[in-house]
Amino acid sequence: MIFDTAIIGAGPSGLSAAMQLKRAGINFVILEKDKAGGLLRNACLVENYPGFPGGISGNELADNFLEHSERLGVTVLSAEVTGGEYDDGLFVITTMNGEFQSRILVLATGTSPKENNEFAIPDECKHKIFYEIYPIRDVS
């Protein structure tokens, strides 16, 4: 199947784009390698988002984005993009789950935390090092 649009990234920008495409009746696929909500999940408190004068946690706001998009019928596919090319008028996006083709591509990949490249970390303690806040919540 060829999609009109492919969105890579299901953070606030990707989900917003998907909701607008859904409303417009445009055929799309949205691909996310991690948990929908993106780096917004790292924010302990978001105080500059309209509609929440007392602030809201990033995790809760991300959940609100996801709930809203699901209510509109947006489905986020869990798939890490491993490659892509533009061939004969189509974007060909490669994932571990297969290939997706689209006429238009939206890169909503946000910002990436900078991983350590400065010093050696022993393998036995790498599981204790995090580059984002939200996964720490799941550590007991």
Q: What is the pLDDT of residues 20-37, one digit of tens each?
A: 999 999 999 999 999 999
The pLDDT value given to residue 20: 95
* Predicted pLDDT of residue 127: 74
Burial class for 10, CB neighbours closer than 10 Å (0-12, 13-18, 19+): buried
Residue whose structure tokens are 């996310």: 32
Say what the pLDDT of residue 79 is.
96
SS3 35: coil
Would you say residue 105 has pLDDT above 60? yes
| Alpha helix segments (H runs only) across the chain | 12-24, 58-71
State how far the alpha carbon of 28 is from the alpha carbons of 10, 15, 75, 140, in Å.
13, 12, 10, 38
pLDDT, residue 19, reads 96
pLDDT band at 118 (very low <50, low <70, confident <90, very high): low
Assign 120 a pLDDT band (cuts: 50, 70, 90): confident
Is the pLDDT assigned to residue 103 strictly greater than 70?
yes
Q: How far apart are CA 93 and CA 86, in angstroms?
A: 9
Of 32, 35, 3, the C-alpha closest to 105 is: 3
Instruction: Grade residue 83 by pLDDT with cuts at 50, 70 and 90.
Output: very high
pTM: 0.83
Query: Residues 51-64: pLDDT tens digits?
Result: 999 999 999 999 99
The predicted pLDDT at position 60 comes to 96
